[in-house]
C-alpha cells in the first residue's frame, strides 16, 4: 500500500519547536495540544489563545451573478447581506443532505468569500463550480491564505499590544479589510469558541512572522485542536462529520435557524418535506452526572427504548462535568427530560439541558478588553 502523506501548514515547524503533539486531521498534520487540552481550554476562556487554522478553505466568488448563485447554493440569505457582514449557513445536496457548513462574507456588491471545512473543501469547490452561472468567477484562495484564530475575552487588548495597533471594532459576525504589519488582512469578529475573538486572514507567506509577533509578548498562548473541540462542544456548535453529514438534513440540528425557507435553495424542498412530516431527530445537549464521558455513536435510551445516538461527547473543563451532543427522538428532546447513555457497558444517567452548555461566553459582547 502506498503511504498517504498529510499536508503541513506553514507553521508546522513552529508547532514542533513548541513541543506540540501533531496528529492527522482532515488530510493535514495539525497540533492537537501543546501544554495540554484543559490548560489551553481554560486559557481561552479566561485570557486569549491563538489557533493555526490554515487547513480550512477559502473561496472567492465574484461577478454580477455571484449573489444570485450563492442564494441558490446556501441556506442563508446572501443578496440581502450587507457589505462587511457575514452569515453562517449550510451547503446542501438536492436531497437536503449537508455537504458542508460554512460562513459567507460579503466583500462588496459583486464579491464574496466562503470559508469552508478542510475535509470537504475539494468536494465543495466542485459542487459550487458545477452550479455557477457563466457570469460568476470562482477562485480557490486556500493555498495562498493563512488563517489564525485569536480567541478569548482579552484577545482584543492582547492582540493590539502584540501588533502595536489599535484594532477596528466590527460587530459580531462582521469583518473589515485592513493593513496589519504592512500586510493586507481581513479581520473577522467570528470564531468557534464562544468567546470574544477574531479570525485573521492574510497571505500564507507571512504566517511565521504573524505567528511569532502574536506570541512574542507571552500573553497570547497557542492552543490546538483538542481545546478547539472542547470549547466548541461546550457551546453546542456542530462539527462536520459528527453533528452534520451528507446522510442528514439540517432540520434536526438547525431547528429553524440558519434556514431561509422563503427563498429557493438547493435542498429546500427536501427540508420542507422533512419538517412537515416531523419524523426527524433533534440535536440536543445532554449533561451527565459525573466526569465519565460518552463518545460518538453511543446509544441514548429512555427506559427500555433506544431513542438516539451521541454525536460528540467529552469532559467539559469549564463545567467540571461530562456533556454530550446527541440526536434524539423529538418526543424526548425537551429540556429536563431524563435519559441514559450506554457508555462502555454502563448506563449513565443524563438530562436534556439548554444549549449552550457554557453560557458565560463573551463572543456577543459589544466591546471587550482585558
Domain boundaries in the chain? 7-56+143-234, 281-353
Q: What percent of the chain has pLDDT over 90?
A: 96
Is 1 a residue whose pLDDT tops 70? no
- The pLDDT score that the predictor gives to residue 366 is 79
Reported confidence tier of residue 367, pLDDT bands at 50, 70, 90 = low
Q: What percent of the chain has pLDDT over 70?
A: 98
| CA 289-293-297 angle, 5° bins | 120
In this structure, what C-alpha cell is assigned to residue 15? 508547532
Residues whose CB is less than 8 angstroms from the CB of residue 365 and which lie 6 or more positions away in sequence, other chains included: 196
Residues whose CB is less than 8 angstroms from the CB of residue 176 and which lie 6 or more positions away in sequence, other chains included: 84, 168, 170, 186, 187
Reported confidence tier of residue 256, pLDDT bands at 50, 70, 90 = confident
Is 313 a residue whose pLDDT tops 90? yes
- The pLDDT score that the predictor gives to residue 255 is 86
pLDDT digits (tens, 9 = 90+) for 229-250: 999 999 999 999 999 999 999 9
Helix (H) or strand (E) holding 213: helix 207-215
Reported confidence tier of residue 5, pLDDT bands at 50, 70, 90 = confident
Reported confidence tier of residue 93, pLDDT bands at 50, 70, 90 = very high
What is the average pLDDT across 336-360? 97
Is 2 a residue whose pLDDT tops 70? no
Is 307 a residue whose pLDDT tops 70? yes
- Hey, which bits of the chain come out as E strands? 7-8, 21-25, 28-33, 49-52, 57-62, 86-92, 98-108, 111-116, 137-140, 145-151, 175-180, 183-188, 197-203, 221-222, 282-288, 299-302, 305-316, 321-328, 338-343, 346-353
Eight-state DSSP code of residue 125: H
Reported confidence tier of residue 357, pLDDT bands at 50, 70, 90 = very high
Q: Fold for domain 7-56+143-234?
A: Gyrase A; domain 2 (3.30.1360)
CATH class name, domain 281-353: mainly beta
7-56+143-234 matches 281-353 in fold: no
Reported confidence tier of residue 368, pLDDT bands at 50, 70, 90 = low
Tell me the C-alpha distance between 173 and 171, whole Å: 6
Q: Round the average pLDDT of the chain to a whole number and report it.
A: 96
* CA distance readout (Å), 313 to 15, 45, 90, 291: 27, 19, 23, 11
Q: How many CA atoms lie within 13 A of 162 on its CB side?
A: 23
What is the average pLDDT across 332-350? 97
Amino acid at each position: 500500500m502506498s503511504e498517504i502523506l498529510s499536508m503541513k501548514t506553514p507553521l508546522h515547524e513552529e508547532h514542533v519547536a513548541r513541543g506540540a503533539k501533531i496528529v492527522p486531521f482532515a488530510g493535514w498534520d495539525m497540533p492537537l495540544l501543546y501544554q495540554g487540552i484543559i490548560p489551553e481550554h481554560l486559557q481561552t476562556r479566561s485570557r486569549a489563545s491563538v489557533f493555526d487554522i490554515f487547513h480550512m478553505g477559502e473561496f472567492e466568488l465574484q461577478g454580477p451573478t455571484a449573489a444570485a448563485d450563492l442564494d441558490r447554493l446556501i441556506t442563508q440569505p446572501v443578496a440581502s447581506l450587507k457589505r462587511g457582514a457575514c452569515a453562517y449557513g449550510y451547503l446542501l445536496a438536492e436531497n437536503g443532505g449537508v455537504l458542508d457548513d460554512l460562513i459567507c462574507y460579503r466583500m462588496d456588491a459583486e464579491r464574496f468569500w466562503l470559508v469552508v471545512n478542510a475535509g470537504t473543501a475539494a468536494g465543495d469547490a466542485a459542487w459550487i463550480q458545477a452550479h455557477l452561472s457563466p457570469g460568476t468567477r470562482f477562485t480557490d484562495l486556500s493555498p495562498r491564505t493563512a488563517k489564525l484564530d485569536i480567541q478569548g475575552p482579552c484577545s482584543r487588548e492582547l492582540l493590539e499590544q502584540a501588533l502595536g495597533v489599535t484594532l477596528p471594532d466590527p460587530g459580531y459576525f462582521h469583518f473589515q479589510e485592513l493593513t496589519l504589519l504592512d500586510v493586507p488582512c481581513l479581520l473577522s469578529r467570528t470564531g468557534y469558541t464562544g468567546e470574544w475573538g477574531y479570525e485573521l486572514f492574510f497571505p500564507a507567506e507571512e504566517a511565521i512572522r504573524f505567528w511569532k509577533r502574536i506570541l512574542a509578548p507571552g500573553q497570547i498562548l497557542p492552543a490546538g485542536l483538542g481545546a478547539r473541540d472542547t470549547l466548541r462542544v461546550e457551546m453546542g456548535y456542530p462539527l462536520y462529520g459528527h453533528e452534520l453529514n451528507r446522510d442528514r438534513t439540517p432540520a434536526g440540528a438547525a431547528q429553524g435557524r440558519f434556514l431561509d425557507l422563503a427563498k429557493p435553495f438547493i435542498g429546500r424542498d427536501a427540508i420542507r418535506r422533512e419538517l412537515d412530516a416531523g419524523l426527524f431527530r433533534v440535536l440536543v445537549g445532554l449533561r451527565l452526572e459525573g466526569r465519565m464521558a460518552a463518545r460518538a455513536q453511543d446509544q441514548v435510551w429512555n427506559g427500555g427504548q433506544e431513542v438516539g445516538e451521541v454525536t460528540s461527547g467529552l469532559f467539559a473543563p469549564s463545567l467540571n462535568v461530562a456533556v454530550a451532543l446527541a440526536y434524539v427522538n423529538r418526543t424526548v428532546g425537551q429540556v429536563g427530560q431524563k435519559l441514559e447513555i450506554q457508555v462502555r457497558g454502563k448506563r449513565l444517567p443524563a438530562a436534556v439541558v439548554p444549549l449552550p452548555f457554557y453560557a458565560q461566553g463573551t463572543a456577543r459582547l459589544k466591546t471587550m478588553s482585558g
